[in-house]
């Protein structure tokens, strides 16, 4: 990114380390609905980290992968996260990355606008983890964090798009709320 770039920088990722992550696909699709952006589509597999422990941190410090992801957040004007739901909560890979980054600075998202998404093959579409994340990440924010959950991914995400009109409209409502919060 050069200093002459006028485009809004968006970081998008699936909060999962599955190589075929359906959440990564949804995060990418949602980000692509935003006009005139530079998209940084991240893959958690490129940020592999040991399981967080205070002992390891004391012994070896914070791994560089946590700093590398933090750099991405710093460059972004806004962040699109699609959360995988594992047993009603965050995937271990995502939670672990978040824990490491929280040791660099507790304000992990640096007050950047967030668009929170979730999808799963099931009918609830990851709503549990989405609500949990919304509550956590709304702390000390003035503006509401827009969210969208896509149920039954394998039926509702076809040929790289959401064909169901109601679902697409619901996604776009949240995308527009997110766009309104972006300041380049």
Ligand X SMILES: Cc1cc2nc3c(=O)[nH]c(=O)nc-3n(C[C@H](O)[C@H](O)[C@H](O)COP(=O)(O)O)c2cc1C
Please give the residue ranges that form the binding site for ligand X (CB under 6 A).
14, 16, 18, 21-23, 84-88, 120-122, 124, 126
**Buried/exposed code over 121-160 (b: 16+ C-beta within 10 A; e: otherwise):** eeeebbbbbbebbbeebeeeeeeebbbbbbbbbeebbeee
Nearer to ligand X, 18 or 138 (CB): 18
Which is closer to ligand X, CB of 37 or CB of 84? 84
Closer residue to ligand X, CB minimum distance, 24 or 179: 24
DSSP lists the bridge partners of residue 154 as: none
Nearest to 72 by CA among 38, 106, 31: 38
Nearer to ligand X by C-beta: 93 or 101? 93
Least Cβ distance, residue 1 to ligand X (angstroms): 27
Cβ at position 82, least distance to ligand X in Å: 7
18 dihedral zone (left: phi>0; alpha: psi -120 to 50; beta): beta
Least CB distance from residue 176 to ligand X, whole Å?
Answer: 24
> What dihedral angle (degrees, nearest 10) is formed by the CA atoms of 15, 41, 60, 109?
-70
Rounded to a whole number of angstroms, the minimum distance from the CB of residue 51 to ligand X is 16
């Amino acid at each position: 990114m050069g200093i002459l770039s006028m485009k809004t920088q968006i970081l998008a990722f699936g909060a999962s380390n599955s190589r075929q992550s359906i959440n990564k696909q949804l995060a990418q699709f949602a980000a692509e609905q935003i006009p005139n952006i530079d998209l940084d589509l991240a893959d958690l597999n490129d940020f592999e980290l040991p399981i967080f422990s205070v002992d390891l941190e004391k012994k070896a410090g914070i791994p560089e992968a946590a700093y590398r992801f933090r750099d991405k957040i710093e460059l972004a004007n806004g962040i699109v996260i699609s959360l995988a739901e594992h047993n009603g909560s965050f995937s271990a890979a995502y939670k672990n990355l978040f824990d490491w980054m929280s040791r660099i600075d507790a304000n992990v998202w640096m007050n950047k606008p967030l668009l929170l998404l979730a999808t799963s093959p099931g009918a609830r579409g990851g709503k549990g983890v989405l609500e949990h994340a919304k509550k956590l990440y709304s702390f000390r924010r003035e503006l509401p964090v827009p969210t969208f959950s896509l149920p039954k991914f394998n039926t509702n995400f076809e040929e790289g798009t959401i064909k169901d009109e109601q679902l697409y409209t619901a996604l776009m409502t949240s995308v527009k709320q997110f766009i309104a919060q972006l300041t380049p």
